[in-house]
Amino acid sequence: MQHAARIIGTMPALRPDEVFLGPATVVHIHAGIVQIELPSGARVDVHLAFAFPYAPSEGDTLLVIGKDGQHYAIGVLRGSGKASLEFHGDVELRSVGGTVRIAAEKGIEMDGPEISLHARTFRVVAEKVVEKFTWLHQRVAALLSIQAKEMHTVVDGAATTNAKSATITTEEVVTVNGKQIHLG
């Protein structure tokens, strides 16, 4: 592959009426103008004509077509820029009879003033979960079961537990420590 790139790189510059179709490297981006380097070594400005919104980065390899001094990027062969889909109004992404999967090597972010998840079964499998809330309300209609190797709870203010009945069972020691302990 390197050998082929060297041969292509030594091609003479295009004549103005000659048609070019092939890879080109993004070498400079300034104020929305994308400059590419053709295999001939010529540097030209290119018009973006992708089928999807894409903001190229320097070093990207684009598929370019050109003639009469006008060059158009019509595809991305190797890219590290940003692809962005933006719509006005409501948008629905749906799979009928299948599964929708979203995957990323670095991470997935969701941002919005309100996010709702509705499911019959909701599973979270993670090595670590960090949750930060100003206010959290949970309502469980049947059973809340927590199984942990250890548990540590810190409450800066008052803590109250109300139950019809309660049981504390330990295999070893139970310690109750406070300035006052009221029973009954």
Secondary structure of the chain in HEC code, one letter for each residue: CHHHHHHHHCCCCCCCCCCEEEEEEEEEEECCEEEEECCCCCEEEEEECCCCCEECCCCCEEEEEEECCEEEEEEEEECCCEECCCCCCCCCCCCCCCCCCCCCCCCCCCCCCCCCCCCCCCCCCCCCCCCCCCCCCCCCCCCCCCCCCCCCCCCCCCCCCCCCCCCCCCCCCCCCCCCCCCCC
Q: Note the pLDDT of residue 7.
A: 31
Rounded to two decimals, what is the model's pTM?
Answer: 0.61
| Alpha-carbon gap, residue 180 to 184, rounded angstroms | 13
pLDDT of 5 > 80? The answer is: no
Condensed to tens digits (0 to 9), the pLDDT of residues 32-63 reads 899 999 998 999 999 999 988 899 999 999 99
2-83 — its CATH code?
A: 2.40.50.140
Boundaries of every domain in the chain: 2-83
Q: Note the pLDDT of residue 2.
A: 37
Condensed to tens digits (0 to 9), the pLDDT of residues 115-158 reads 999 999 999 999 999 999 999 999 999 999 999 999 999 999 99
